A and B are shown apart, each in its own frame.
Chain A
């Protein structure tokens, strides 16, 4: 079942369709607000994608992923405002620095399992946020850093929401493609084996430690890129968006979208980002409605949005041909 829904043909079709839809979308939306929401869905998709590789495929929980997001944002902010490096260089360095941070923190912590790993990443996330707040000369403390330059193509500055939309979704789709290839490769199978049983995986010769650290660094790289995109879009960074609450929100995106599902990242990121916009009208009760929806999703779609929908269609499809089979 699982293998069929992830089959190459399924993705081969889905990829150009989603790409074409995304490319056409700005022509249908005449409102910069909707484009802005789509930009954030793109950024959140990249984040959820990275975390999904880690949580869904390798089975490692991280409650500190907002820290890598923040490291990416601050890296490009510092490089482009203080050292005056070009924005594209900042954008390229951000994932590298976040990846390096993931490597350094992953080496000791990935030896931990289950709750202990969750606690370690939680602590890491908090430490990084404290660094953003306290390392005043570099980060500007709680009041943050302004004056981050926009991305540009030649002489064209990408300040318009629509232009930025294409930049973000270019990266998002590229990373979906990369992730898909990883998941379908030997590495992906090894990761799933690690998820199911580390002992069994090790006994058939999977180098658990190596794969775990690789996927952790990779998800750090994804988050770093998302952070850099955020920084060049908002053109201001401060410590608040990179705190514990956002780490939790990312985990929610992954779980709601569907663990171990590449397209689930888009689904989860879209659902959570859109929901928080749609629920604006509930004002003070928003949090309650939001919580109730999450509880319902988890009760009726414990596998997350994508898998539940795929399962539903698959069930319907398998239900139809079963009739003629009975006839003769």
Chain B
């Protein structure tokens, strides 16, 4: 009855056709809420936008969003709930674990899931029904290695956080630096709650590398940047996309200046040349988000934007048939999104390459595109 009531309110505005239901699973509460909240906000923004412009082929869109509470159990139950309400696709979840917990449910129910999480395991091996829009760290490392080769850096030290993110980055660095003939002089780690890394940096200084690559998420990398400045180590400090939020600059202060890291184009949208094919999409998202919420959008919201945009295009083209939507996305080429330019294939359900990343330098506490 509630559905009928809601539909009754929405329908007259955009026509009398039945609404298309899209499910959203975001970690709105729990440890992953910094990811899930911007994703949810973006999803709500898009629902409003689509319905304000006449819906999809006259059909209004109804987003049903559930909080996964950052837990696997709630994700699976919420997904079953969405499926039983007849959603045509599910956008999210926010985290890798939650997404992997959904693999079985998604393929059994035959509903396309477009995850906003980064883990490469979500799409490798390929599950017929599961896609993801977040970039993988393979490509972030590739971008950094390219940069080091260009600058003639061939001796580095690695400093990584001891968790899944740091380990995965370190493994990729080993593989790709080996292939590019960049020598790794030493590997150091720090805990994700450590407040001092001077001993690691002192050891690194003794090795005399040409650059330090630090792979971690806040607050560790900010401490590394501070400690390097304190110890007077004046070699390039390269970092990961894990620091692509304002928190890093806040924590590191002056020491953040000069740090170079790979990131999606969204955070340096104003520096992106107009000739860049992504410029238009980036501005559209950034402006719409800022207008609605009075703050800057971030990468995570961008993943949700891309996912919903893909579902929207599929719905416009093939209608509300789950199998058809799935194969539409699987064969989608040249989709210009926030995370990059997607080229999906049956073997690649992420569809991004290393050009999804640009290199960003921090100058005077601001992100600038590295020239």
Any A CB within 8 A of the CB of B74: yes
Known contacts A40-B77, A241-B72; A280/B103 CB under 8 A: no
Name the CB-closest residue of B to A235.
B104
- The contact of A32 among B71, B72, B83, B97, by CB within 8 Å, is B83
Q: Mark A201-240, 1 if CB is under 8 A from B, else 0.
A: 0000000000000000000000000000000001110101
- Size class of the contact patch on chain A: 20 to 34
In A124-150, the 8 Å CB interface with B consists of: 133, 136, 141-144, 146
Q: Mark A97-118, 1 if CB is under 8 A from B, else 0.
A: 0000000000000000000000
Kindly list chain B residues whose C-beta atoms are within 8 Å of the C-beta of A277.
77, 81
In A268-289, the 8 Å CB interface with B consists of: 276-277, 280, 283-284, 286-287
Provide the main secondary structure of the chain B interface.
helix
Known contacts A280-B78, A283-B67; A32/B84 CB under 8 A: yes
Kindly list chain B residues whose C-beta atoms are within 8 Å of the C-beta of A40.
73, 77
CB distance from B136 to the nearest CB of A (A): 12
CB distance from B242 to the nearest CB of A (A): 14
Q: Would A287 and B77 count as touching, CB distance under 8 A?
A: no
Known contacts A144-B100, A146-B121, A284-B28; A234/B72 CB under 8 A: yes
Any A CB within 8 A of the CB of B190: no
Kindly list chain B residues whose C-beta atoms are within 8 Å of the C-beta of A286.
29, 67, 69
Q: Mark A234-277, 1 if CB is under 8 A from B, else 0.
A: 11101011000000000000000000000000000000000011
Q: How many residues of B are counted as interface, with CB atoms below 8 angstroms from the partner's CB atoms? A: 30
Kindly list chain A residues whose C-beta atoms are within 8 Å of the C-beta of B101.
234, 236, 238
- How far, in whole Å, are A33 and B76 apart by their CA atoms in the complex? 9
Known contacts A142-B163, A238-B72; A36/B77 CB under 8 A: yes
Q: Would A143 and B96 count as touching, CB distance under 8 A?
A: yes
Any A CB within 8 A of the CB of B108: yes
Q: Would A36 and B80 count as touching, CB distance under 8 A?
A: yes
Q: Mark A281-309, 1 if CB is under 8 A from B, else 0.
A: 00110110000000000000000000000
Any B CB within 8 A of the CB of A31: yes
Known contacts A141-B164, A276-B74; A236/B83 CB under 8 A: no
Q: Would A236 and B29 count as touching, CB distance under 8 A?
A: no
Q: Would A33 and B83 count as touching, CB distance under 8 A?
A: yes
Between-chain CB contacts (< 8 Å), 11 pairs: A32-B80, A32-B109, A33-B84, A37-B77, A40-B77, A141-B167, A234-B72, A236-B100, A241-B71, A280-B67, A280-B78
B-to-A contact residues, CB < 8 Å: 28-29, 66-67, 69-74, 76-78, 80-81, 83-84, 96-97, 100-101, 103-104, 108-109, 119, 121, 163-164, 167
A-to-B contact residues, CB < 8 Å: 31-33, 36-37, 40, 133, 136, 141-144, 146, 159, 161, 234-236, 238, 240-241, 276-277, 280, 283-284, 286-287
